Structure 1
Amino acid sequence: MIKALIIDDEPRARNVLHQLILTYVPDISEVRTAGSVDEAKSLMEFYLPDLVFLDVEMPHQNGFDFLQLPNNPDFDVIFITAHNSYAIQAIRFSALDYLLKPIDPEDLQEAVKRHYTRSESFRQRKLLFDNLAANIDKRDIKDFRLAVPSSEGVFFFMVHEILRLEADRNYTIIHLINKRPFIASKTLKYFEDMLAKFRFVRTHKSHLVNIDHIIRISNNNEFIILSDGSRIEVSRRKKDEVQRQLNI
């Protein structure tokens, strides 16, 4: 069973989420609430949650400030936010979870299920929180650092280091500059959505390619060559899109 803590400065939002948890998430056995980071800090002197529902947009100290408090115990976090695309991207780039207000009960249930499947150590989770804090401080999403958990641990890298991403059933093989590939337990579609604002093109159902690393396209437009020498197929269905993206 899970002990949870809700941190949100809006009383109504706290109450709504509390009721949703009681109604739809029986695995959460105990719920406490706090209206500020300071109140949460005081509460956690005697109440240690397994899972924290953390509002991003709060006055004075926001949700991200809470993660930087010293001596925080080992807990998982699900961020709560209104439609703040910058914050959402920062959270996603740090391999962390979030829910959008107003919270949908099914989304809440799925987020708690994902909590059970997360396998990061305390140290790894702290690194993810630190990565999130660093991303939030950036002025441009293009400067975000990406965190990708795998069976080997958590990999951190900049988007411009990605050569290409390759589908492997429900997994993705990530190819980086001057580094060995590794396998991420996310679909290629997941990364395609995340990288939508960057210069990537889907050349095939199995390949997502960094446009900045394309050095040549064949005369018949059936394949491209990347800066590492790899040759990537361009499917018939994707030819027009590839040509458009490359201004051919």
Structure 2
Amino acid sequence: MLRALLIDDEPKNNRILKLMLEEFCPHVQVEGQAENIDEAIQLIEEKDPDLVFLDIEMPFGSGFDLLDRIKPVNFEIIFITAFNNYSLKAIKYSALDYLLKPVNIDELMQAVNKAMERIKARNTNSRIENLLFNLKKPQAGVQKLALPSKEGYVFVPLPDIIRCESKGGYAVFYVKGMDKIISSKNIKEYESLLLDEMFFRIHNSHIINLNYIKKYHRGRGGFIEMEDGTMLEVASRRKDELMARFGL
């Protein structure tokens, strides 16, 4: 049984979420609710929860402000928000999860199941630290992406990612100065995370960092030669868009 807290400045939202959890996630026990940051901090200290559903936008401070005040964070978090903005990408960079209001039942169940898996890994605090770092450093050249490793997660600066290759249902990352990192997520999930201005998907199997291209070899779609000498095929349907990125 997961012991959970609900933190939202709208009591109605907390009541609805509690009912949804009782009906569709019976392994989650709601042990308290709070409507502002001060109440939430006191409740977290009292209850020592496994999981917190945390509204991002609240009066007198955001959910991120709450996390900054209670570090280290020893519980898993599912953020809840009505706004689809830049902070959601920062959440995903840090291998955390969020739900958009109004909360969808299927998405709620999926988020809870993922949270249960992450709780077993016991590395929430490092991911929260990465999230807060990314929120304070919104520049593309500074932010870090959480990639899974045997020990937990490796936090990789986006500019150091040379390319990402699809291998079955896995994604293999080639990173400057590191051994390759294999993620259990597929390449499609990372395509939506990697910044458009820095990365480009040249083929179903490859996303590359445009800063590491050495040469383009002509052909139907052609081939990209990376700085490390790797040759990668360009899908013919992606050729024109790739050339346009370089003003060609």
Please report the TM-score for the alignment, with normalisation by the length of structure 1: 0.91
1:173/1:223 CA distance change after superposition, 3 Å: same
Name the residue aligned to 2:213: 214
Task: Specify every segment of 5 or more residues in structure 1 that has no aligned partner in the other structure, as ranges.
Answer: none
Name the residue aligned to 1:22: 22
Shift, 1:197, TM fit:
3.2
Aligned equivalents of 1:236 and 1:197: distance in 2?
19
Aligned equivalents of 1:82 and 1:71: distance in 2?
25
1:118/1:46 CA distance change after superposition, 3 Å: same
Aligned equivalents of 1:107 and 1:229: distance in 2?
42
- Provide the identity percentage: 37
Name the residue aligned to 1:188: 187
Alignment of 1:221-236 (within 5 A): 221-236=221-236
Aligned equivalents of 2:180 and 2:72: distance in 1?
34
Alignment of 1:107-186 (within 5 A): 107-118=107-118, 121-122=121-122, 124-186=123-185
1:73/1:246 CA distance change after superposition, 3 Å: closer
Shift, 1:44, TM fit:
2.8
Q: Is the 8 A contact 1:18 1:31 kept in 2?
A: no
The one-letter code of the counterpart of 2:39 is: E
Q: Is the 8 A contact 1:166 1:208 kept in 2?
A: yes
Aligned equivalents of 2:188 and 2:116: distance in 1?
23
Name the residue aligned to 2:45: 45
SS in 2 for 1:194: coil
Aligned equivalents of 2:46 and 2:119: distance in 1?
25
SS in 2 for 1:195: coil
Q: Is the 8 A contact 1:150 1:185 kept in 2?
A: no
Shift, 1:234, TM fit:
1.5
* Pairs aligned (count): 247
Aligned equivalents of 1:55 and 1:131: distance in 2?
19
Deviations, residues 31-62 of structure 1 (Å, cap 9, x unaligned): 42111121122223331211100111112232
Aligned equivalents of 1:89 and 1:32: distance in 2?
28
Cα RMSD for the two superposed structures: 2.0
SS in 1 for 2:74: coil
Name the residue aligned to 2:83: 83
Per mean C-alpha deviation after superposition, the further-off stretch among 85-94 and 62-71 is 62-71
SS in 2 for 1:3: strand
1:199/1:120 CA distance change after superposition, 3 Å: farther
Task: Specify every segment of 5 or more residues in structure 2 that has no aligned partner in the other structure, as ranges.
Answer: none
SS in 2 for 1:45: helix
Shift, 1:196, TM fit:
4.3
1:236/1:141 CA distance change after superposition, 3 Å: closer
SS in 2 for 1:58: coil
Q: Is the 8 A contact 1:142 1:198 kept in 2?
A: no
